[in-house]
């Protein structure tokens, strides 16, 4: 039991000590016994017949809907207890440090609810369009699937991602500092088709998507965005939306703050003015130092974070070949450039963006180097296709003060210590 | 000049074929604006059932009225368990009253009175989402009464008999309305202004802040002592 209660860092450090001892013994043995040591230190993972190599495994259909290996049970979303009043109006975080590539598995996409997960019956799902239209219409889910479909990979980031870090380093793990983001392929129909089906009146300027959940989530979206690239999506990564992601249909607002991507969407009202709903006045407005507040701060700025190593994913190996990896994204386009520093920003190196580069999608970057075992101050700095440079946290504070909660896209620093342990810090 | 079978110069014929191909491609690639004939007309009753939003100009306000005296009783029964009898907020539930003159301080308290720009937001939100866990059940008179009580707690009105209704609703203004501004981003450097430094960018680097000073990460000692809230 006590073994299980150890934190991952303790376990990892023990593991690296064991590795170190093993390699020391191996080295010592080699000196004493010469060639014979090769036999004595052979790896039992190879020399012993493993159970899985001898006995038959499970047949097909043991898990009709497949689940990850039991050895990956720790790879889960987690929440931060002190952040919210109840789990139904709360958020949990994507375990970014356990993932690679650019796609977030559906079951690991962070959750943010305001009235719990609505369990909508698909046969009773309806989408209404009303307001400044020629013909108020009602669509069923089957109706939606008869419009021409699009497939696009987009990141969804909560505007409050990294919001707990405005006043300084607080949470030890990129899951908690940056985990309110996910990236999946959506299949859906352009919102434009639905609006044109209803016929927009000439004075239409805004839409108000509304959720069918117990919070009735509503936001104002300018019509230009609705007609540009918004989707009504019903699939994510090829399968039906997960209930916690808005099953059976949600709004996709590429590059803009996650709160606008209304889940369980039941209605879209067309209007000539914004609604100034609770989530775009009381919340999701950015309070400046002088008491003024910015509103309708929709776009997600260019941002990046090193996911490995990070506090939940320390370096477990000795000095030598080391891979730094992370994610970068921008609500304004693609990411052509990411720089990485090992010394807290004194010197920067071009990182390698690997894998597909899609508009308003996560990008995966790597920086490979020979670690000499000494402490590191790691940072990543992304530049997006508009030329926007990811700012430092101090630059953000200088522009906005410390009370704005939302849209914190500042450069993150991880302090790698001698043993490979990593801490969330800020540097001068 | 070569002639096509119909006597048209061949070059012209080719050119017009090419033009037709271009037009055809353009037509395929353009956003179709035709009707797909999908969906059905919404009935008046259906629209009424779902059309619950309220805007600052009063659009969507249902007929009804209420005052703070009535609102206090409803609030005590249906709202105070989370928001407290005086809107002070229990535990981490939202504070609804007070917070005046705190927005430019280190600890801003954002309430209906201190922060919200429009009163219509209160109607829109309270009806659609409150009481928490029993949404869209309040009668219009109850919502007007609760809002009147919230206004009283925030000193926007002083008379607990003041009758708030759909008729006078838009005449009430909240004190912070003028303090909302448009999004000025980008408000930090871009490549147009600065080329990011790559070499010898700083003389020295010091750790200035550490997460371990107060360890509020889940599964650590002080995990309940974190600053900030999301609701």
Helix (H, G, I), strand (E, B) or coil at B76: helix
Beta pairing, strands A286-287 & A250-252: unpaired
Helix (H, G, I), strand (E, B) or coil at B121: helix
Residues A278, A216 contacting (CB under 8 angstroms): no
Alpha carbon of residue A234 to chain centroid? 20
Contacts of A29 (CB under 8 A, 6+ apart): A37, A40, A41
HEC-encoded secondary structure of chain A? CHHHHCCHHHHHHHHHHHHHHHHHHHHHHHHHHHHHHHHHCCCHHHHCCCHHHHCCCCCCCCCCCCCCCHHHCCCCCEECHHHCCCHHHCEEECCHHHCCCCCCCHHHCCCECCCCCCCCCHHHCCEEEEECECCCEEECHHHHCCCCCEEEEEEEECCCCCHHHCCCCCCCCHHHHHCCEEEEEEEEEEHHHHHHHHCECCCCCEEEEEECCCCCCECCEEHHHHHHCCEEEEEECCEECCHHHCCCCEEECCCECHHHCCCCEEEEEEECCCCCCHHHCCCCCEECCCCCEECCCCECCCEEEEEECECCECCCCCCEEEEEEEEEECCCCCCCEEEEECECCCCEEECEEECCCCCCCCEEEEEEEEECCCCEEEEEEEECCCCEECCCHHHHHHHHCCCCCCCCCCCCEEEECCCCCEEEEEEC
Provide the strand spans (E) within B19-63.
40-41
pLDDT of residue A39: 59
Question: Predicted confidence band at A261 (pLDDT cuts at 50, 70, 90)?
Answer: very high
Contacts of B112 (CB under 8 A, 6+ apart): A282, B87, B96, B97, B122, B150, B151, B154, B174
Cβ contact A166–B228 (<8 Å) = yes
Question: Predicted confidence band at A5 (pLDDT cuts at 50, 70, 90)?
Answer: very low
Helix (H, G, I), strand (E, B) or coil at B27: helix
Q: And the tokens for A280?
A: 């775009």
**Cβ-based contacts of A426 with chain B (< 8 Å):** 207-210
The whole-angstrom distance between A129's CA and the closest CA on chain B is 8
Question: Predicted confidence band at B217 (pLDDT cuts at 50, 70, 90)?
Answer: confident
Cβ contact A294–B223 (<8 Å) = no
B152: region left, alpha or beta (phi > 0 left; psi from -120 to 50 alpha) = alpha
A187-222 pLDDT, tens digit each = 999 999 999 999 999 999 999 999 999 999 999 999
**CA A164 – CA B214 distance, rounded (Å):** 13
> What ipTM does this complex have?
0.89
- Whether residue A419 is predicted with pLDDT greater than 50 in this model: the reply is yes
Cβ contact A276–B191 (<8 Å) = no
pLDDT of residue B229: 66
B74-116 pLDDT, tens digit each = 999 999 999 999 999 999 999 999 999 999 999 999 999 999 9
Cβ contact A277–B53 (<8 Å) = yes
- Whether residue A30 is predicted with pLDDT greater than 80 in this model: the reply is no
**Helix axes B140-153 and B68-78, enclosed angle (nearest 10):** 100
What is the pTM (predicted TM-score) of this model? Answer: 0.89
Cβ contact B179–A291 (<8 Å) = yes
| CA closest to B196 among chain A residues | A389
Angstrom CA distances, B84 to A43, B36, B90, stand at 64, 52, 6
**CA A242 – CA A249 distance, rounded (Å):** 10
What is the interface size between A and B, counted as CB pairs within 8 Å?
290
A220-242 pLDDT, tens digit each = 999 999 999 999 999 999 999 99
B140-157 pLDDT, tens digit each = 999 999 999 999 999 999
State phi, psi for A370 to the nearest 5 degrees: -90, 110
pLDDT of residue A374: 97
% of chain A beyond a pLDDT of 90: 89
A265-275 pLDDT, tens digit each = 999 999 999 99
| CA closest to A389 among chain B residues | B190
Question: Predicted confidence band at A81 (pLDDT cuts at 50, 70, 90)?
Answer: confident
**CA B185 – CA A384 distance, rounded (Å):** 14
Terminal CA-CA length for chain A: 42
Beta bridge partners of A320: A371
Residues A231, A152 contacting (CB under 8 angstroms): yes
Question: Predicted confidence band at A31 (pLDDT cuts at 50, 70, 90)?
Answer: very low
Probe site for chain A from B55, B91, B182, B196 (most A CB atoms < 10 A): B55
The whole-angstrom distance between A153's CA and the closest CA on chain B is 20
- Whether residue A20 is predicted with pLDDT greater than 70 in this model: the reply is no
The whole-angstrom distance between B157's CA and the closest CA on chain A is 20
Question: Predicted confidence band at A27 (pLDDT cuts at 50, 70, 90)?
Answer: very low
The whole-angstrom distance between A338's CA and the closest CA on chain B is 11
């Amino acid at each position: 039991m006590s073994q299980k209660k150890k934190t991952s860092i303790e376990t990892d450090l023990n593991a690296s000590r064991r590795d170190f001892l093993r390699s020391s013994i191996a080295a010592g043995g080699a000196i004493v016994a010469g060639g014979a040591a090769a036999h004595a230190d052979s790896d039992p993972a190879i020399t012993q017949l493993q159970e899985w190599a001898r006995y038959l495994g499970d047949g097909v259909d043991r898990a009709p809907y497949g689940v990850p290996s039991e050895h990956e049970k720790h790879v889960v979303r987690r929440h931060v207890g002190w952040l919210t009043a109840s789990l139904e109006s709360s958020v949990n975080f994507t375990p970014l440090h356990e993932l690679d590539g650019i796609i977030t598995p559906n079951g690991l996409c962070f959750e943010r609810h305001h009235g719990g997960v609505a369990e909508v019956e698909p046969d009773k799902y309806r989408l209404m369009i009303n307001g400044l239209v020629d013909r108020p219409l009602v669509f069923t889910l089957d109706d939606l699937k008869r419009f021409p479909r699009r497939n696009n990979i987009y990141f969804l980031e909560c505007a409050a991602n990294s919001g707990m870090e405005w006043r300084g380093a607080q949470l030890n793990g990129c899951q908690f500092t940056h985990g309110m983001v996910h990236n999946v392929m959506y299949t859906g129909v352009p919102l434009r088709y639905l609006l044109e089906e209803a016929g927009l009146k000439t004075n239409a300027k805004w839409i108000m998507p509304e959720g069918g959940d117990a919070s009735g989530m509503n936001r104002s979206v300018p019509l230009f965005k609705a007609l540009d690239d918004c989707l009504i999506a019903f699939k994510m990564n090829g399968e039906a939306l997960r209930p916690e992601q808005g099953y059976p249909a949600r709004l996709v607002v590429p590059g803009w703050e996650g709160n606008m991507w209304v889940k369980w969407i039941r209605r879209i009202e067309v209007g000539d003015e914004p609604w100034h709903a609770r989530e775009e006045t009381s919340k999701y407005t950015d309070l400046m130092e002088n008491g003024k507040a910015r509103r309708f701060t929709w776009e997600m700025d260019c941002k990046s974070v090193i996911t490995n190593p990070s506090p939940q994913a320390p370096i477990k190996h000795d000095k030598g070949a080391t891979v730094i990896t992370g994610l970068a994204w921008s609500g304004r386009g693609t990411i052509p450039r990411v720089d990485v520093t090992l010394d807290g920003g004194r010197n920067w190196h071009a990182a390698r963006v690997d894998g597909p580069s899609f508009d308003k999608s996560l990008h995966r970057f790597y920086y490979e180097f020979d670690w000499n075992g000494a402490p590191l101050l790691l940072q990543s700095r992304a530049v997006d296709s508009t030329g926007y440079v990811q700012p430092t946290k101090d630059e953000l504070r200088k522009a906005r003060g410390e009370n704005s909660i939302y849209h914190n896209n500042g450069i993150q620093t991880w302090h790698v210590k001698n043993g490979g342990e990593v801490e969330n810090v800020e540097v001068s | 000049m070569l002639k096509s079978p119909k006597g048209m110069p061949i070059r012209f014929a080719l050119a017009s074929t090419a033009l037709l191909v271009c037009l055809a491609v353009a037509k395929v690639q353009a956003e179709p604006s035709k009707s797909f004939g999908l969906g059905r007309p919404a009935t008046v009753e259906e629209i009424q059932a779902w059309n619950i939003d309220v805007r600052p100009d009063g659009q969507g306000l249902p007929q009804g009225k209420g005052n703070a005296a009535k609102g206090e009783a409803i609030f005590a029964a249906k709202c105070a368990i989370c928001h407290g009898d005086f809107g002070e907020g229990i535990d981490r539930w939202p504070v609804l009253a007070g917070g005046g003159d705190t927005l430019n301080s280190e600890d801003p308290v954002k309430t209906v009175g201190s922060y919200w720009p429009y009163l219509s937001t209160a109607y829109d939100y309270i009806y659609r989402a409150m009481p928490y866990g029993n949404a869209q059940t309040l009668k219009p008179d109850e919502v007007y009464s609760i809002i009147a009580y919230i206004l009283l707690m925030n000193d926007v009105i002083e008379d607990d008999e003041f009758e708030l209704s759909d008729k006078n609703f838009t005449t009430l203004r909240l004190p912070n309305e003028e303090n909302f501004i448009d999004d000025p981003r980008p408000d930090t450097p871009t490549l147009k202004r600065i080329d990011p430094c790559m070499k010898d960018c700083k003389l020295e680097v010091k750790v200035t802040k550490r997460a371990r000073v107060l360890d509020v990460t889940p599964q650590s000692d002080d995990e309940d002592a974190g600053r900030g809230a999301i609701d």
